[in-house]
Structure 1
Amino acid sequence: MISLTARWVVVDIEGTLTPTSQVHVTLYDYARPRLGPWIDEHADDAVVADAVAQIRSLGGLSESATTDELVAVLHGWMDADQKIAPLKTLQGLIWQRGYAVGDLTAEFFPDVAKRLREWHAAGLTLAVFSSGSVPGQIAFFSRTTDGDLRDLFTAHFDTVNAGPKREAPSYKAIASALRAVPEETVFLSDVPAELHAAAEAGWQTVGLARPGEPFADADFSPHPAVDSLTDVEIS
């Protein structure tokens, strides 16, 4: 059991709150065939138009690139699991619609919802830092097997409004946005490199070494690590 004293708790999603397969299989497979139609059907949407412009630039495509060419770049990024902003933006919009119409339901590890509710009820300020876009995060928590969990969180952060997850300045930016004291802030993640960055920013850290997940056997030192949120007490 790990016992900490803090006022702010920031959580990762993939591998920490939900199985990695929920993102890499369920959500990716849902978004993949819908990217092209979404681009075509929302061509006049400023957010989509900006994402398309970024895809052309980052993918080395011409202004006359077809939707199929844009999608080929997006699929390549997905296959390589690259956290690139325009991809995350389009995925987030598609997932947002999927949750809204009932096509998607987020599934968490069994210990997650109860613990998050307990921390929230105890007066802790909860926030999310994930590579998935903020709209995608909010949609994710809106429809889960444990109900609508959006009200538990004060703020959401991604690699666009905070920065890379493996760099300390991102955590400093989040602390500033939350008006949080770094020493009284805890970050929970399944990725040691992210915990290193949070610790460099002065945060407390806890690793989630969940059985069967990609980082289950990783070296989390010097961070304490558990395999369930049940083993983390924060007051």
Structure 2
Amino acid sequence: MTYSAIITDIEGTTTRISFVTEVLFPYARLHLAAFVRQHQQQPAVLAELTAVREQLQQPEADIEQCISALLFWLDADQKITPLKSLQGMIWQEGYQQGHFTGHLYPDAVAQLQTWQQRGIPLYIYSSGSVTAQQLLFKYSDAGDLTPLLSGYFDTRIGGKRDLASYQAILKQLQLPPAQVLFLSDVVAELDAARQAGMATVQLIREQQAASDHPVAENFYQIEV
């Protein structure tokens, strides 16, 4: 099958799960309170704090209440958009200051390059914000890989386990569902993509249980 677009997840698919859980999340938690206090009047941060107050249904919540909510959501690994956006801003500082680089599996790098050279548009769909996605690929172990990518989707288009999210992506791409391949390690995400008519492949990087989706242990095993 020749696909007109390939969409890939990040965590557990292009990127080691431990990079997110052991590097990015702890860095964001360590710096979140100070970052929000320091930058709370900047328009981008202020907009996310407004979204936090809306999420809490507390329009008068002060900055410390917002920080407490953000830390609670972070510790609970909640996929809440303003948290993800603020995490992306914090990680930007970390990447730019050289505190870490974005982990990508070498096979993912090689195949993304091959597919892009073959003229297949490549997209990212992750629960991390678009900013966070762009940063990981811009400051990756393999250098700036953002030229490989045609676009990014995050929770603003919807939850990754929701059929409507994949339908919305297809509407944006203006492609027949069967011509779009979605890659992820999470079965519930693959199920939703398949419901939307997309082709799917499950990446089994770290002893995940196989499902009824086609499976691959690395990007080299994905037939495109």
* Residues 202 and 214, structure 2, Cα contact 8 Å, conserved in 1: yes
Mapped pair 1:20 → 2:20: no
Q: Which has the higher helix share?
A: 2
- Alignment equivalent of 1:167, drawn from 147, 155, 162: 162
Cα RMSD after superposing both structures: 1.5
Q: Write out per-residue CA displacement over residues 184-229 of structure 1, whole angstroms, 9 at most, x where no aligned residue.
A: 00000000010111111110000011125xxx12x421x1111111
Shift of 1:131: 0.3
Question: TM-score normalized by structure 2?
Answer: 0.94
Q: Would you say 1:156 and 2:139 are equivalent positions?
A: no
> Using the alignment, how far apart are the partners of 1:173 and 1:60 within structure 2?
27
Q: Does 2:71 correspond to 1:75?
A: yes
Aligned equivalent of 1:120, options 85, 91, 116: 116
What SS class does the counterpart of residue 105 from structure 1 fall into? Answer: coil
How many Å separate the matches in 2 of 1:66 and 1:151? 38
> Which residue is equivalent to 2:34?
37
Cα distance in structure 2, aligned partners of 1:137 and 1:66: 27
Counterpart position of 1:86: 82
Shift of the 60–179 alpha-carbon distance from structure 1 to 2, 3 Å rule, reads closer
Partners of 1:92 and 1:113 lie apart in 2 by 22
For 1:62 and 1:179, the matched residues in 2 are separated by: 38
- Whether contact under 8 Å (2:24, 2:91) holds in the other structure is yes
Aligned residue runs from structure 1 range 1-235, under 5 A: 4-59=1-56, 61=58, 63-67=60-64, 69-160=65-156, 162-212=157-207, 216-217=208-209, 219-221=210-212, 223-234=213-224
State the SS of the aligned residue for 1:25: helix
Residue deviations 1:127-155 (CA, integer Å, cap 9, x gap): 00000000111111001111111000000
Give the paired residue count.
224
Name the CA distance, whole Å, in 1 between partners of 2:94 and 2:173: 29
TM-score by length of 1: 0.90
Q: Distance in 2 between matches of 1:135 and 1:64?
A: 26
Which stretches in structure 2 are left out of the alignment for 5+ residues?
Answer: none
